[in-house]
Amino acid sequence: MVRDPTSFLPQGLSFRFVDRVLELVPGERVVALKNVTANDPHLQDHFPGHPLMPGVLLVESMAQTAGLLLPEGSSAFLAQIKEARFRAPVIPGDQLRIEAVRRGGLSDLHRFEVAALVNGTPAAEAEIVLAVVRANAGDRP
């Protein structure tokens, strides 16, 4: 039985912003989906009457998607966000298609080009750097 790739994300279900993986070339490229619904807790008060997915959570969804390209069992911190652009609002009913491509790295740092699209139209894009946490790195997660 093949395990769902999203189960490898270290985030708990309440803070997971990837619903499904459509394509995965391990270590190279991943395409994932996030369904944005009116029931998402973060949309209840952002903004009342005009719900909008916060940009910081768009970045988190892109970082989580990129994290699927790390070696199995890895945990990582968001180390850098470069050239982030927010092109269009993301609202309930939208389905984010998040595409991440690994662009290299150095030691425990991994660089990704990531885009979030709604109906083929860019909603957000960024270069994201994730820092892999080594085992025995102390008490901090």
Q: How far apart are CA 52 and CA 1, in angstroms?
A: 37
Close Cβ partners of 88 (under 8 Å, ≥ 6 residues apart): 118, 121, 122, 123
Neighbours of 16 (CB within 10 A): 16
- CA atoms lying within 13 Å on the CB side of residue 108: 12
Q: How far apart are CA 104 and CA 140, in angstroms?
A: 26
Per the annotation, the verdict on 46 as an active-site residue is: yes
**Exposed / middle / buried, residue 29 (Cβ in 10 Å: 0-12, 13-18, 19+):** middle
State the catalytic residue, choosing from 42, 46, 50, 110: 46
Residue positions annotated with a catalytic role: 46
